[in-house]
Amino acid sequence: MPDAAPAGRTVAIRDGYPARDEIGFLTLPPRARLALAALLFSTGGAAIKATTLTGWQVASFRSGVAALTVLLLVPAARRGWSWRTLVVGVAYAATLSLFVLANKLTTSASTIFLQSAAPLYMVLLSPLLLKEKVRRSDLALIAVVAVGLALFFVGTDAPAVTAPDPAKGNVLALLSGVGWAFTVIGLRWMGASGGDQGIAAVVVGNLLAFLIGLPAAVPVVSFAPSDVPVILYLGVFQIAAAYLLVTSALKSVSALEASVLLLIEPALNPVWAWLVHGERPGVWAMVGGVVIIAATQARSMLAATGRWR
């Protein structure tokens, strides 16, 4: 969500979320809010894999719950809708859906690491869509992240119960990163036009993900009793609550600090999958993930200190 986030997360809203005394967790210190948000984000992969529902069912129902939660809690989410929010919402919907579908097919580690390559696509797309110049240091980032991406496809991980089709899942995770790059660029585009429609775009994206996935999600032929609380958790806490925590904290925390704290997400995501499901990502995937995270994090830290040229 914030620009400095290691997984490319960016937030474009500054006002309009509930007052701190309205929701208890918003009374936490800013840095604690960021850490809690990253912790919630990091549980996505393990929670998605914990359901017996299909990828389309999880993607649709999770986003439906998230959209409803934000609409109920955030007054600003009910106004400011325009054709721009629809355009950005489409990119965000693709990101949300592809992330879930990828998690159902490949390891959580591969999914979050491949999505974390979003800054690479942003560097390539920004000159075309935002007329931003590519700096010499950006070319170095492209080279390093490209090496990290290539490592994921050096060898194919053997299928497992929690990752039945790693090759296909890796492609979907990569496309999720592309979708997130378009989302971030879209949020910047809306910000440059004046006003702040980021929260509306988030709601629209979740609504679209819900509606697009619904035809493939119904009818629900079978489900486990545990699927219901898991879907509610994913929508209410892993998306909506985490989003509110980040946006409320960014006013008081620097980009550099936010970048470091939000490293909790990619660091813990594979850990939860291992603890809950015994999932072990391949060696090349882990090496590639470390390369991608290190490169994007270095860029975030140097940019925050004014040394990225």
At residue 116, the 3 state secondary structure works out as coil
Q: Is residue 1 part of a domain?
A: no
Taking the C-alpha atoms of residue 133 and residue 131, their distance in angstroms, rounded to an integer, is 7
Residue 299 lies in a domain: yes
**pLDDT score, position 6:** 40
**Cβ 91 vs Cβ 183: under 8 Å:** yes
> What is the per-residue pLDDT for 10?
42
Token pair in block for residue 271: 């850990």
Instruction: Kindly report, residue by residue over 214-236, the tens digit of the pLDDT.
Output: 999 999 998 899 999 999 999 99
**CA 77 to each of CA 67, 68, 202: distance values in angstroms, whole numbers, following the listed order:** 9, 10, 8
In single-letter form, the type of residue at position 306 comes to G
Q: Are 201 and 89 in contact (CB under 8 A)?
A: yes
Domain membership flag for residue 209: yes
| Residue at 16 is within a domain | no
How many domains, in total, are found in the chain?
Answer: 1
Look at residue 63 and tell me if it is in a domain. yes
Tokens of residue 293, six digits: 């995270």
Q: Is residue 309 included in any domain, yes or no? A: no
Tell me the mean pLDDT in the region 240-258.
79
For residues 6 and 300, the answer to whether their CB atoms sit within 8 Å is yes
Q: Give the pLDDT confidence of 45-90 residue by residue, as tens digits.
A: 999 999 999 999 999 999 999 999 999 988 888 887 888 899 999 9
Measured between alpha carbons, how far is 76 from 125 in angstroms, rounded to an integer? 29
The residue length of the chain stands at: 309
State whether the Cα torsion 72-77-80-86 is positive or negative. negative
The pTM score is: 0.86
Q: What is the mean pLDDT of the chain?
A: 85
In a domain, 275, yes or no: yes
User: Residue 253 belongs to what domain range?
Assistant: 24-304
Q: Is the pLDDT of residue 210 over 80?
A: yes
Q: How far apart are CA 238 and CA 28, in angstroms?
A: 17
pLDDT in tens, 13-46: 444 445 444 566 667 888 898 899 999 999 999 9
Q: Tell the residue number behind the tokens 């994913």, with chain if given.
A: 234
Is the distance from CB of 43 to CB of 272 less than 8 angstroms? Answer: yes
Q: With b meaning 16 or more CB within 10 Å and e meaning fewer, what string describes 24-38? A: eebebebeebbbbbb
Tell whether 97 is covered by a domain.
Answer: yes
Q: What is the mean pLDDT of residues 164-179?
A: 95
Which SS3 state, helix, strand or coil, does residue 16 take?
Answer: coil
